[in-house]
Amino acid sequence: MNKLFVAALKEETVGLNYFHHIGVGKINATYNLIKLIHDHKPSKVINYGTAGAINKELLGIVECTKFYQRDMDVRGLLDLKLGETPFDNINEIINSEEGYSCGSGDSFVNRQIEMNVDIVDMEAYALAKVCKLEGIEFKCFKYISDNADSNASSDWIENCEKGAKLFHIRMSDF
């Protein structure tokens, strides 16, 4: 099985030299993953990164299997729910009922959000959608770096390297 390991930033994968870095945000993630798929032709994409916990019971590394776009909001124009893209039949990606839900958006979360998800990040939905459209297996693991609150930015900086070390130890499980 040809696996492709992707993460947004080098800071999230200190010491993990097998990762490709795709950049921050949904557009960078989409563009760079498509280029990597073209070059490497993987049968499986494994995403690792950091995430903020909305579900305050989560710690360590969690597997995400349900993906939502938390910043798509056309409720003022059309009769759609938060997270639904107009004229698109893929508004949620559920790879398994096991695992946690992730809301991806192009903003760093440091306050309460409207969407009911377990964690928040900035790339996973885009990666999951590209893999779904390309017929590639997608696995997503996130290290809970912060609680998506007013301390999120300082907690994220402090915890990046801790998550990379833990992922390396647990990688054989994935």
Confidence (pTM): 0.92
**Where do the domains of the chain lie, and which CATH numbers do they carry?**
3-173 (3.40.50.1580)
Location of structure tokens 């590639």: 136
- Tell the burial category of 51 from Cβ atoms under 10 Å away from its Cβ (0-12, 13-18, 19+): buried
- The per-residue pLDDT for range 31-87, each reduced to its tens digit, is 999 999 999 999 999 999 999 999 999 999 999 999 999 999 999 898 899 999 999
